[in-house]
Amino acid sequence: MAKNIHNWFILVIYLVSSSTLNAQATEGQPVTDSVPSYQKTFNKAVALIDSAKYKEALPLLKKVIKENKQFYKAHTKMALIYLKQNENKEVEKEIKKSEGIMNSDFETQKIKAINYFVMNKYKESKVAIDTAVAIAKNEKLDDAELLYYRAQLMFKGKSYKTALETCEGALELNPKYIDVYLLKAEIRFAAKEYNYALKELNEAIKLMPAEKPEYKAYKLRAQCKFEMKDFKGAVSDWNIYIDALPGEEDALISRAAALININDNSKAIADLDEAIKINKKNPISYCYRGVAKGGNKSYTEGLKDLDEAIKLKFDYGAAYVNRAAIKMALKQKEEACKDLQKAESLGDSMAIKLIEQYCKKPN
């Protein structure tokens, strides 16, 4: 028994000594780096992409591919860079190369789907999104951006309920995803749920960094407020939007409409003057300016604008109604009623009410 213990003790000493000697021998030798150089270069490129330094990352990815032609991830990241730079044809080229090496990669399919979406190729985008979703389920991946674009497609297809549900899924993964709040607001606006749309927009605006606001949120909020008859609130939001992005015809016309509704006709005329400089062929601008001039009791000038609106669009029911209003103010009742009858024939619902009120002969 004592002999066995002795042998075991010697064996332990031997094992410890051997491991110590091996460790000492290794210390003097150079350590072999097991990470290939192309992987290191790729990692540097990814870090640059994450910092939005796309120009610096691109040559590194090309170097990776030169070293390892089968490294499909480099093609996928190049596709991502081209997507960020709106070079859609280049995205397609790199995706095709990546798929030629590895066909079932999640990121590749996601970038492919987004690229098709921004190119308005919605059917192709849906196929790629469905593929990405299937891979994500299999690999147990969660991706808020993929859900956002999936919701976008549903919105395009007018599947409002499922689009909103998908948005909620994206927000569970990323509660501060501003674009998702904006998409939810667009969906609610399209469904004429203006109170809900306003709530989403307020949340989006609250989350925006002060140094980098998303001005389309103010645009949509102005439109919501207008529909809810909060015309002062609409003007306020249009002011923010137009100050940041001047020279947009539709925005100027929309702010003018809100200004007319709060009887600020002179400012409305100024906006419409600017809109007409941008586009002399838009009948809406002339119609609204005619209304604003009528509101300022500049009836002759107002009639000229409404005549121009009808000249540009002969079936413009609202222009006939507004021209009738000015003619009534000028006590040209017969001419006004002719305009209202024309508007009625064009299906204008307001004209019907005004004919009943002003143009029906008493029994």
Tokens of 312: 């540009």
**How large is the average pLDDT for residues 11-37?**
53
> Which pLDDT score is estimated for 103?
82
For 149-199, the pLDDT digits (tens) are 999 999 999 999 999 999 999 999 999 999 999 999 999 999 999 999 999
Residue that wins the pLDDT comparison between 54 and 10: 54
| Position 3 pLDDT exceeds 60 | no
Average pLDDT over residues 4-11: 43
Banded model confidence at residue 360, pLDDT cuts 50, 70, 90: confident
Read off the pLDDT of each residue in 6-12 and give the average, rounded to a whole number.
42
pLDDT band per the 50, 70, 90 thresholds, residue 309: very high
- Name the packing angle between helices 122-139 and 144-156 (round to 10°): 150
CA atoms within 13 A on the CB side of 347: 1
All residues at 6 or more sequence positions from 297 whose CB lies less than 8 Å from its CB, including other chains: 329
Phi, psi values for residue 172, rounded to 5°: -65, -35
**Which of the residue ranges 12-16, 41-45, 332-336 would you say has the lowest mean pLDDT?**
12-16
Which residue shows structure tokens 């137009």?
A: 242
Q: Which of 14-18, 171-175, 210-214, 329-333 has the lowest mean pLDDT?
A: 14-18
Ranges of each domain in the chain: 45-141
Structure confidence at residue 357 as a pLDDT band (50, 70, 90): very high
At residue 10, the pLDDT reads 38
Q: For 173-177, 207-211, 224-228, which range has the lowest pLDDT when averaged over its residues?
A: 207-211
CATH superfamily of 45-141: Tetratricopeptide repeat domain (1.25.40.10)
Specify the pLDDT at position 13: 37
> How many CB atoms are closer than 10 A to CB 258?
26
Residue 33 has which token pair?
A: 């780096």
Query: In the prediction, which pLDDT does 16 show?
Result: 43
Lowest mean pLDDT among 25-29, 55-59, 249-253, 320-324: 25-29
pLDDT tens digits for range 74-125: 999 999 999 999 999 999 999 999 999 998 899 999 999 999 999 999 999 9
Grade residue 24 by pLDDT with cuts at 50, 70 and 90: very low
Cα(342)–Cα(24) distance, integer angstroms: 103
Q: Across residues 4-30, what is the average pLDDT?
A: 44
User: For 32-36, 93-97, 220-224, which range has the lowest pLDDT when averaged over its residues?
Assistant: 32-36
Q: Which residue has the higher pLDDT, 2 or 260?
A: 260
In angstroms, the CA 238 to CA 348 distance is: 28
**Average pLDDT of the chain to the nearest whole number:** 92
Inform me whether the pLDDT recorded for 4 exceeds 80: no
Say how far apart CA 76 and CA 81 lie, in whole Å: 9
Q: Evaluate whether 309 touches 286 at the Cβ level (below 8 Å).
A: yes
Cβ neighbour number for residue 44 with a 10 Å cutoff:
16
- 3-class secondary structure for the chain? CHHHHHHHHHHHHHHHHHHHHHHHHHHCCCCCCCCCHHHHHHHHHHHHHHCCCHHHHHHHHHHHHHHCCCCHHHHHHHHHHHHHCCCHHHHHHHHHHHHHHCCCCHHHHHHHHHHHHHCCCHHHHHHHHHHHHHHHHHHCCCCHHHHHHHHHHHHHCCCHHHHHHHHHHHHHHCCCCHHHHHHHHHHHHHCCCHHHHHHHHHHHHHHCCCCCCCHHHHHHHHHHHHHCCCHHHHHHHHHHHHHHCCCCHHHHHHHHHHHHHCCCHHHHHHHHHHHHHHCCCCHHHHHHHHHHHHHCCCHHHHHHHHHHHHHHCCCCHHHHHHHHHHHHHCCCHHHHHHHHHHHHHCCCHHHHHHHHHHHCCCC
Contact 286, 312 (CB under 8 A): yes
Q: What is the mean pLDDT of residues 310-319?
A: 98
Angle of helix 215-227 relative to helix 194-207, nearest 10 degrees, comes to: 150
**Which residue is listed with tokens 């941008």?**
278
